């Protein structure tokens, strides 16, 4: 998905490295992934949003690097500032400043129960754990079945999500490969942050994201009908003008809703619409669909989305033909910049009004 990214919360943050350890303290029960205060690879931007009051804390891990792998971080807010303490590891023991512990759970529970500052310099205390949010899913809740598609980020799979006594069919976006890059995690988490505020029948429903370990998984509603561009090409003999009109109306409703939430889609096209079993179109949230001003300025707006919607109308009523036909991308760019929009193709029966509306967009 490509959305317009809203402004991030601006906070004062510090990352503090551990001091040498001194005193050893006993172990605690349970793995780190079982703790409600553990948030996996959730990016710092999301972490800072979750820490709202002084004394609130959580534990996360950094994305792996070739030199150091993953590193455990205790994030907390104290005196209005966000601190991120890197947990040191030496000879099988973990520490932040003075005491050492056999595991991270024991370290966190000790400072939480004793109400002792993590470091003398900051005075920061672990008073109130921030629990995992409803949209932070456990990997064991997700089961992958068949693969639906693949892109630069990785694959999309049909699967199931089981939470409590409820199991539902879902679509799962899984990052590619074993190594998780910082940019991939941040992009998927940004996508999740935006999707979770949307509630509309023509926008794909978001269930959550699993970031406690690799691979990162983004879980969404499974729309059984497939992508609109495939439906238009493979079922063109079966589709009526009413069907095509419903597709256009569903996409328009979804786009109107996104714009009402001050969200710009930036990639409105038939390939990014899904057809449900009821023949509704769900917005799933480049050059052939892009507005002239975007090519010139690389700035998106609701108006550029409406332009792309006009191209989508043409796709729908031309039985899924590719905009600008067999032109090369260079030729397409020339056409767009010169405002010469020539679309050749067979249109579905009497759709002159719809074609005119598409050109007007």
Residue 80 has what DSSP assignment?
T
pLDDT of residue 133: 93
Residue 189 CB neighbour total at 10 angstroms: 19
pLDDT of residue 292: 85
H or E segment to which residue 173 belongs: strand 166-175
Which tokens go with 113? Answer: 């129960």
Long-range contacts of 10-13 (CB under 8 A, 24+ apart): 11/48, 11/81, 11/82, 12/80, 12/81, 12/82, 13/44, 13/48, 13/81, 13/82, 13/83, 13/84
Which tokens go with 131? Answer: 């629990």
Residue 194 has what DSSP assignment?
H
Percent of the chain with pLDDT over 90: 36
pLDDT of residue 321: 83
Nearest partner of 315 among 284, 347, 338, judged by Cα = 347
pLDDT tens-place string over residues 220-273: 999 888 888 888 888 888 888 888 888 888 889 989 988 998 888 888 888 888
Task: Please give the C-alpha separations between residue 165 and each of 142, 158, 221, 222, 287, in angstroms, as whole numbers.
Answer: 14, 20, 18, 19, 45
pLDDT tens-place string over residues 69-79: 789 999 999 99
State yes or no: pLDDT of 187 exceeds 90.
Answer: no
**Helix residue ranges, H only, the chain:** 44-50, 104-114, 182-195, 228-234, 241-260, 292-297, 302-317, 329-337, 352-360
Q: Residues near 285 by Cβ (< 8 Å), separated by ≥ 6?
A: 1, 2, 3, 194, 195, 198, 203, 204, 254, 258, 265, 272
- How many whole angstroms from its chain centre is CA 339? 34
pLDDT tens-place string over residues 105-115: 999 999 999 99
Domains of the chain: 13-129 (3.30.505.10), 139-221 (3.30.200.20), 228-360 (1.10.510.10)
pLDDT of residue 12: 35
Half-sphere exposure of 91 (CA within 13 A, CB side): 5
Sign of CA dihedral 125, 131, 137, 138: positive
Confidence of residue 4 (pLDDT cuts 50, 70, 90): very low
Dihedrals phi, psi of 228, to nearest 5 degrees: -65, -40
Query: By three-state DSSP, how is residue 206 classified?
Result: strand
Which residue in the list 34, 46, 103, 267 is annotated as catalytic?
267
Residue 33 has what DSSP assignment?
G
Lowest mean pLDDT among 23-37, 76-90, 200-214: 23-37
The overall average pLDDT reported for the chain is 81
pLDDT of residue 354: 53
State yes or no: pLDDT of 6 exceeds 70.
Answer: no
State yes or no: pLDDT of 293 exceeds 80.
Answer: yes
Nearest partner of 249 among 343, 313, 321, judged by Cα = 313
Q: How far apart are the first and last CA of the chain?
A: 22
Q: Residues near 298 by Cβ (< 8 Å), separated by ≥ 6?
A: none
Confidence of residue 122 (pLDDT cuts 50, 70, 90): very high
d(CA 18, CA 95): 7
d(CA 40, CA 140): 14
Strand partners, 157: 147, 172
Which tokens go with 214? Answer: 């690799």
- Judge whether 54 counts as a catalytic residue: no
Check whether 173 is labelled as a binding-site residue.
yes
Strands 81-86 and 13-16: parallel
């Amino acid at each position: 998905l490509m959305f317009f990214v809203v402004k991030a919360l601006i906070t004062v943050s510090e990352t503090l490295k551990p001091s040498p350890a001194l005193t050893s303290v006993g172990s605690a029960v349970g793995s780190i992934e079982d703790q409600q205060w553990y948030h996996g690879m959730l990016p710092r931007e999301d972490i800072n949003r979750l820490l709202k009051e002084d004394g609130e804390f959580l534990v996360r891990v950094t994305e792996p690097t070739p030199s150091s792998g993953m590193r455990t971080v205790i994030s907390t807010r104290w005196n209005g500032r966000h601190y991120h303490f890197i947990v040191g590891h030496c000879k099988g023991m973990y520490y932040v400043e003075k005491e050492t512990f056999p595991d991270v759970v024991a370290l966190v529970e000790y400072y939480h129960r004793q109400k002792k500052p993590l470091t003398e310099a900051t005075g920061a205390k672990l008073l109130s754990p921030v629990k995992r949010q409803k949209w932070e899913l456990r990997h064991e809740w997700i089961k992958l079945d068949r693969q639906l598609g693949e892109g630069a980020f990785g694959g999309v799979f049909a699967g199931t999500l089981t939470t409590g006594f409820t199991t539902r069919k879902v679509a799962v976006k899984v990052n590619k490969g074993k190594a998780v890059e910082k940019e991939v995690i941040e992009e998927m988490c940004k996508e999740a942050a935006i999707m979770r505020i949307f509630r509309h029948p023509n926008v794909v429903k978001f269930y959550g994201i699993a970031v406690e370990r690799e691979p990162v998984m983004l879980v969404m509603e499974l729309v059984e009908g497939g992508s609109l561009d495939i439906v238009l090409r493979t079922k063109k003999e079966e589709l009526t003008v009413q069907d095509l009109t419903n597709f256009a109306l569903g996409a328009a409703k979804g786009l109107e809703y996104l714009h009402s939430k001050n969200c710009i889609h930036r990639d409105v096209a038939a390939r990014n619409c899904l057809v449900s079993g009821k023949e509704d179109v769900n917005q799933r949230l480049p050059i052939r669909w892009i507005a002239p001003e975007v090519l010139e300025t690389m700035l998106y707006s609701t108006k550029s989305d409406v332009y792309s919607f006009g191209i989508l109308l043409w796709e729908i009523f031309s039985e899924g033909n590719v905009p600008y036909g067999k032109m090369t991308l260079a030729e397409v760019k020339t056409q767009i910049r010169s405002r010469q929009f020539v679309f050749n193709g067979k249109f579905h029966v009497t759709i002159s009004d719809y074609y005119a509306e598409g050109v007007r967009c």
